[in-house]
Chain A
Amino acid sequence: RKEVEQDPGPFNVPEGATVAFNCTYSNSASQSFFWYRQDCRKEPKLLMSVYSSGNEDGRFTAQLNRASQYISLLIRDSKLSDSATYLCVEDNAGKSTFGDGTTLTVKP
C-alpha cells in the first residue's frame, strides 16, 4: 500500500463549482500535512498547510482527520485558474512523502 494515496481524477468541473479532494495516509506518526499545487511542467508550490482544527484561506479549506488518517481539500467557486494538479504531502521528521496528485480542470 502506498504511504499517501489520492484519487488521481481527473476532476472536470464547470466554473463556480465546489470540488473536494481526499487523501489518505498510512503512517500514523506523521506530523504535518500539506497541499501543494503543481501547474503543468512546473515546480510544486505550497498551497496550504493542514491542521487538525481545519484551516481556510479564501476559497480553499483544508481538513485533517487523524483518527481516520485522511486529509481533504475543498475548493469553492472554482476559477479557470484553479486548473492544476494538487499534491497531498505528509511530513515526518523532515522527510516528505508526496501523493501522486489529483488533476483538476475547470471549464468555462
Chain B
Amino acid sequence: NAGVTQTPKFQVLKTGQSMTLQCAQDMNHNSMYWYRQDPGMGLRLIYYSASEGTTDKGEVPNGYNVSRLNKREFSLRLESAAPSQTSVYFCASRREGIREQYFGPGTRLTVT
C-alpha cells in the first residue's frame, strides 16, 4: 500500500515549456486535490476532484489544467510554465465522509 505517489520529485523547466505532474493513490479514495506551497506559506488549492469524472477550480487555478484519468490518478498540467509557478506541488486524496487528507511527498518545480 503506497498511499499517494507523485512523479517527478524534482523538475526544472524553462519559461514557456509544458509538463504534467502525475499523482496516483491506491486507497480507493473518491476525492483528490492539487495544492501549491510557496516558501513560508501554507498550501493553496489549485484544483480538486470530488469524484472520478469531475473537477473544480480552487483558489489559484490560473495557468493550470487537470485531468482525473480514473479513480486512482489525478494529473496537473502546466501548458506554458512561468517563473511565478516555481513552487512545491502536493497532491492529496481523501475518502468520502472522512476529513483527513493524505498527501504525496511533493514535486519541487523550478521555472527559470
Give chain A's interface residues, CB within 8 Å of chain B.
Answer: 4, 8, 32, 34, 41-46, 49, 87, 91, 94-101
Q: 15 new A-B pairs (CB below 8 Å) besides A46-B100, A96-B33, A97-B45? A: A8-B40, A34-B100, A41-B88, A42-B106, A43-B105, A49-B99, A87-B42, A87-B43, A91-B99, A94-B50, A95-B58, A96-B45, A98-B35, A99-B42, A100-B40
Alpha-carbon gap, A101 to B48, bound state (A): 22
Give chain B's interface residues, CB within 8 Å of chain A.
Answer: 31, 33, 35, 40-45, 48, 50, 58-59, 88, 90, 94, 99-101, 103-106
Residues of chain A lying within 8 A (CB to CB) of residue B90: 43-44
Q: Which residue of B lies closest to A46 (CB)?
A: B100
Judging by beta carbons under 8 Å apart, are B48 and A100 in contact? no
In angstroms, how far is the closest chain A Cβ from the Cβ of B43?
4
Say what secondary structure dominates the interface of chain A.
strand
Residues of chain B lying within 8 A (CB to CB) of residue A87: 42-43
Judging by beta carbons under 8 Å apart, are A100 and B41 in contact? yes
A-B pairs with the 6 shortest C-beta distances?
A: A98-B42, A43-B103, A100-B42, A98-B43, A46-B100, A100-B41
Judging by beta carbons under 8 Å apart, are A44 and B43 in contact? yes
Given contacts A94-B31, A94-B50, contact A45 B42 (CB under 8 A): no
In angstroms, how far is the closest chain A Cβ from the Cβ of B21?
14
In angstroms, how far is the closest chain B Cβ from the Cβ of A29?
16
Alpha-carbon gap, A86 to B31, bound state (A): 24
Residue among A43, A91, A97 having the largest count of chain B Cβ atoms under 10 Å: A43
